[in-house]
Amino acid sequence: MLTKKMRELLLLIHERTKDGDVPPSFDEMKDALGLKSKSGIHRLITALVERGYIERLPHRARALQIKKLPEGYRPPETDVTSAASKARAINDVYRAANTESVPLYGKIAAGTPIEAIRDEGRSVDIPATILTRGRHYALTVEGDSMIKAGIHDGDTVIIRETESVHPGDIAVALVEDQEVTLKRIRFAGTKIVLEPENDAYEPRVLNPDQVRFQGILAGLYRLYH
């Protein structure tokens, strides 16, 4: 059985995709259904998937496909003009369907550490599947010291905020409260080792009072031009 909001969302996606268009974004769905946050849309889509009404298609943007419609549904009679207007309105709704917005705090060194640049006014949209539990932020990588871990100059790394790290984690380390770097974390006795993933760079061995961890790597987002 579908709730009222499930039915509304299902028909919204159906109207958008029935003529081959892409589904609406999460922001568009949220606005169309009068919800306050995109988390409500996530829950509705999950419920529709579980009930067999829609299917998520892997490796495709806005990858939602209608599998069936509510029992007894009949499409409304519309003229060409109103149908086109509705299609345009729904088109404005699904641009962020499978994305989440996280703050972009600036640049982080994957080479020689640089001062963190924190810009609260910027954000980046990333696939929602990258995110785990907790608060997240994004940083732009500068340098090549983590290339053996698949992290390249210009990549955007997604960081889950935490001060707790484990050996082998790739973490954001604030060194002596003034420079920040992304490195593999090792421990040697009472020392903290910031270990690069590039043989051209040397590990840095520091005392615990010299390092404060600000998060661990949750994902990586790369654009190909």
For residue 150, give every residue at least 6 positions away whose Cβ sits within 8 Å of its Cβ, in sequence order, or none: 220
Q: How far apart are CA 91 and CA 60, in angstroms?
A: 17
Helix, strand or coil for residue 167?
Answer: coil
Q: How far apart are CA 119 and CA 102, in angstroms?
A: 12
* Token duo for residue 183: 């490195």
* Token duo for residue 92: 């404005």
Residue 67 among the catalytic residues: no
Residue 145 among the catalytic residues: yes
* Token duo for residue 132: 């785990």
Residue 98, amino acid: N
Find the helix packing angle between 26-33 and 4-17, rounded to 10°. Answer: 130
Q: What is the CA radius of gyration of the chain?
A: 22
Tokens 């051209």 sit on residue? 200
Among residues 145, 148, 164, 191, the one annotated as catalytic is 145
Q: How far apart are CA 167 and CA 157, in angstroms?
A: 19
Partnered with residue 185 across adjacent β-strands are 194
Q: How far apart are CA 164 and CA 223, in angstroms?
A: 30
Helix, strand or coil for residue 13?
Answer: helix
Among residues 38, 67, 183, 191, the one annotated as catalytic is 183
Q: Which residues are catalytic?
A: 145, 183
